Amino acid sequence: MISVEEAIERIERAFAPLGAELVSLDRALGRVLAEPLEARLTQPPADVSAMDGYAVRAADVKTLPVRLKITQRIAAGQPPSGAIGDGEAARIFTGAQVPPGADTIVIQENCDEADDHLTVREGRRALGQHIRKAGLDFATGDIALHSGRRLTARDISLAAAMNRPWLTVRRRPRIALLSTGDELVNPGDPVGPAQIIGSNGIGLAAMVHAFGGEPVNLGIARDNLEDLDRAIETALGFDALVTSGGASVGEHDLVQTALTERGMQLDFWKIAMRPGKPLMFGALGALKVLGLPGNPVSSIVTALLFLKPAIERMLGLAGLEPAREVALLGKDMPANDTRQDYVRARLVTNAEGQKVATPFSPQDSAMLSLIARADCLIVRKPHAPAAKAGDTIDIIPLSGGCLSI
């Protein structure tokens, strides 16, 4: 058995960033930039008004009230027709270009207009006020988004404003998912008395999606070498094969045997953790293979801990263990044994504004209802001493993060 940390390290070492591809901006949400993104234009392109009002010369409005002649009207999208001279002003609207000669915007609420003349009655009129200078947001050639950034909706707005309708992003890792077990049927199919729904395939596909990969569900292989071998063959050519179930030591656990017979080089098998001990990692030529345990909670927790960094590494991201936070423990916990525990828990904020994590019981790795309801996983190191309610503990938040998509 190896530690969780060592397993993550070995997995990260085995994967490398994938190549890049071009996508249109409307398909780019969540994709990872593979090159720095330079602005193709300057924004705003010229000095523009930030308010509806009048463009004036600061020197003309030093003392109020003052009467100025309106020589032009400028709306957004229209260039000014000429310069503003002494004693002159331009009617101007938000986003319109400030005409040459004007250096200040006075807002319309402080002015009266009649007979092509403007009276500025009152209000602030500092030099340059309400003018957005050319290039305030960004200038041609500026790098506003860096390589390795996972694009948010806000980034996509920025890229659009920078006139970059196509982006070079990392190819999405293609992950083949294979469920194994004689007892499994697909959701929606008739369920016999000794059968259960194979939920891992569909759940893992959703996780792969959330992590930034492209899942392809290969369905269910039965617990025999022929069926497993056929399924393994279909996975060749993918970036990784993720199996669930059949990874333990029972006589129906044939996944490792089937892979080894095909020539898989085993990297490790079994991690000192709970849930998720029987986890297997290896390579079948270029195909990386991650064998997850069959119990639904184990498959979810191990996918979060090991599949996420693998996908992130292929995407050229940092690929670290999920972000940890601290919280106060909601109830006493006994001393831990040799395995690192990931304890499903509820997270609430108490009256003092502190986060409090309370473990569910039971902690059965077959209970999907509890992992679905959990707000976080409490991380307990191997050999951690007994902990008391109120102690500070490490948690991995679940809601609001990658798993909530």
Q: Quick one: which H or E segment has residue 206?
A: helix 200-211
Min CB(255)–ligand AMP separation in Å: 8
Q: Quick one: which H or E segment has residue 357?
A: strand 355-359
Among 246, 278, 296, 359, which residue sits at the site for Mg ion (rule: CB under 5 A)? 246
Instruction: Kindly state the DSSP code that residue 235 receives in the 8-state scheme.
Output: H
Interaction between residue 43 and ligand AMP (CB under 6 A) = no
Q: Distances from the Cα of 148 to the Cαs of 34, 244, 273, 313, 314, in angstroms?
A: 6, 30, 31, 11, 11
Among 80, 246, 291, 319, which residue sits at the site for ligand AMP (rule: CB under 6 A)? 246
Among 243, 295, 302, 358, which residue sits at the site for ligand AMP (rule: CB under 6 A)? 295
Min CB(252)–Mg ion separation in Å: 6
Min CB(179)–Mg ion separation in Å: 9
Give the span between the Cα atoms of 168 and 19, in whole angstroms: 10
Interaction between residue 199 and ligand AMP (CB under 6 A) = yes
Nearer to ligand AMP, 254 or 387 (CB): 254
Nearer to ligand AMP, 94 or 217 (CB): 217
Mapped onto helix, strand or coil, the DSSP state of residue 311 is helix
Q: Distances from the Cα of 375 to the Cαs of 25, 333, 398, 402, in angstroms?
A: 33, 18, 5, 12
Min CB(220)–ligand AMP separation in Å: 7
The DSSP secondary structure of 108-172, one letter per residue, reads GGGEEEETTEEEE-SS---TTTTEEPTTSSB-TT-EEE-TTPBPPHHHHHHHHHTT--EEEEEPP
Min CB(4)–Mg ion separation in Å: 23
Interacting positions 296-355 with ligand AMP (CB under 6 A):
296
Interacting positions 146-185 with ligand AMP (CB under 6 A):
179, 181, 183-184
Interaction between residue 276 and ligand AMP (CB under 6 A) = no
Applying CB under 6 A, the residues found at the interface with ligand AMP are 179, 181, 183-184, 196, 198-201, 244-248, 250, 253, 293-296
Applying CB under 5 A, the residues found at the interface with Mg ion are 181, 245-246
